[in-house]
Amino acid sequence: MKELHFDQFSVLCQEPVPGPDLSGFSGQAAAEALRFHQSLPDYAETPLVSLGCLSAQAQVKAVFVKDESARFGLKAFKGLGGSYCMFRILCERLGLDPAESDYRTFLREDIRQACGGITFVTATDGNHGKGVSWAAKQFGCRARVFMPKGTVEVRRRAIEEAGSATAEITQWNYDRTVQHAASVAERNGWILIQDTAWEGYEKVPAWIIQGYLTLALEALGQMNGLTPTHLFLQAGVGSMAGGIEAFFVNRCREHPPLVSIVEPEEAACVYRSALAGDGLAHPVTGNPVTIMAGLNCGTPCSIVWPVLRDCSSYFCACRDTVTEQGMRAYASPAGNDPAVVSGESGAVTYGLLLSILSSEALRSLFRINRESVILLISTEGDTDPDGYRRVVGG
Ligand SMILES: Cc1ncc(COP(=O)(O)O)c(C=O)c1O
């Protein structure tokens, strides 16, 4: 493991090792999630933006960006996980076979009535809670959402407006807020729908992560027959990154992509865990401050930690300035490339990529050349419109 420090970010490099079980996040799991999502009235494939001018300037084969800003009208990818997981939980509760059911099954009067008495509870930095609130409304259920200290009011309100949840800002950091949500669920007999796993709480988050795979399957189908040589994935607890990484490593076994896991330096729990080198996931404690609200999480998700640890080639811990550069560059692209509205947690991988592309030494470190096919996911749009305007202007 080699650690290198640059002006605005640090990088850990390693050779991936084979080993972790990737079967839970296979093409089959992705196909099942996609089939469910396609049955939702609000479903539409999100665009895969090809940055052709940038690719030509940077002398790489392609740079693709999966733009999740319009997913279900929620401005972020997270509704994919909340809705699929809620579907699986409700199927289990109501004795429905998920393979024979989809959203339309839940329009039946008897099933709708049964759903009316069910309350879900979760903790969130914002986007997951919005997805849960929206999904609860689709299924006719209720939801309670808890948010960490420092959350901006606009994000709390967006959760209530997205669906049928009541949302509340607590006095604690993200990890402590998750514990609070778990104990409220237990006390009230409500269902905890959390987008991270720990020992003994794995089935629900595994369904959430499988829900995220819809975006990976869509992206693969939109890449004109290419497969990524490089994947840059941002991580909070790492559920999204680990699931998408497992999907692509599984799918491209002959030539697995080089995966970079990208985090805010203040809350770089995956980076810190990899650096510790003992194979275990380690939390980052305290009250980390970063504008990347969706990535401000202190403990890696236990189910995907082995995937992140063993399959990734690079771990990157970035200053906020990296994502600010990414947000501005997405908004003012090269030549005729389309603009992408990308928020604080969406753009960090792009800011990092642009720094890498502008330096021969970094290109060589990340093994980027004329054959490189680079895939990024802009995981959110302007979920905090004031914050977005402050960075991008206009
Ligand atoms: C916009 C956005 N991107 C990325 C992530 C990171 O996802 P995860 O916590 O699964 O690592 C989040 C998490 O909330 C998010 O909201």
93 and 68 in a common domain: no
Residue bearing the bigger pLDDT, 354 or 18: 354
Quote the pLDDT of residue 19.
Answer: 78
Render pLDDT for 20-75 as a digit per residue (tens, 0 to 9).
888 899 999 999 999 999 999 999 999 999 999 999 999 999 999 999 999 999 99
pLDDT at 394 over 80: no
Residues acting as catalytic residues: 78, 125
Asked if 241 and 325 sit in the same domain, the reply is yes
**For residue 126, what pLDDT is reported?**
87
At residue 50, the pLDDT reads 98
- What residues does ligand 1 touch, defined as CB less than 6 Å away? 76, 78, 125, 127-128, 195, 234-241, 294-295, 297, 345-346, 379-380
Q: What pLDDT shows up at residue 286?
A: 84
Mean pLDDT for 206-223 is 98
**Boundaries of domain holding 367:** 2-76+205-392
Q: Atom 16 (ligand 1): residue with closest C-alpha? A: 294
The alpha carbon of 321 and the centre of ligand 1 are apart by a number of angstroms equal to 18
pLDDT tens column, 157-168: 999 999 999 999
- In ligand 1, the atom with minimum distance to the C-alpha of 343 is 1
Neighbours of 364 (CB within 10 A): 11
State the pLDDT confidence band at 287, using cuts at 50, 70 and 90.
confident
**Shared domain check, 278 and 343:** yes
pLDDT band at 259 (very low <50, low <70, confident <90, very high): very high
- Among 169, 174, 246, smallest CA distance to 206 is for 246
Ligand 1 centroid distance, CA of 346 (Å): 8
3-state helix, strand, coil in the chain (%, to 5): 45, 15, 35
Per-residue pLDDT reduced to its tens digit, 76-88? 999 999 999 999 9
**Could you give the percent of the chain with pLDDT greater than 70?**
100
Helix ranges (DSSP H) in the chain: 27-38, 52-58, 79-94, 109-116, 127-139, 153-162, 174-188, 203-221, 239-251, 269-276, 305-311, 320-331, 348-357, 360-365, 385-392
Q: Once rounded to an integer, what is the mean pLDDT over residues 250-274?
A: 96
In this structure, the answer to whether residues 8 and 53 fall within a common structural domain is: yes
Closest-CA residue, ligand 1 atom 13, reads: 294
Residues 127, 60 share a domain: no
- Please report the pLDDT score of residue 125 as a whole number: 86
* In a shared domain, residues 256 and 374: yes
Residues 112 and 233 grouped into a single domain: no
Q: Is the pLDDT of residue 144 over 80?
A: yes
Question: The CATH number of the domain where 138 resides is what?
Answer: 3.40.50.1100
Return the pLDDT at 354.
Answer: 98
Q: Is residue 200 domain-resident?
A: no
In a domain, 347, yes or no: yes
- pLDDT the model gives residue 361: 97
Q: Is residue 311 located within the same domain as residue 334?
A: yes
Question: Does pLDDT of 18 surpass 90?
Answer: no
Mean pLDDT for the chain overall? 96
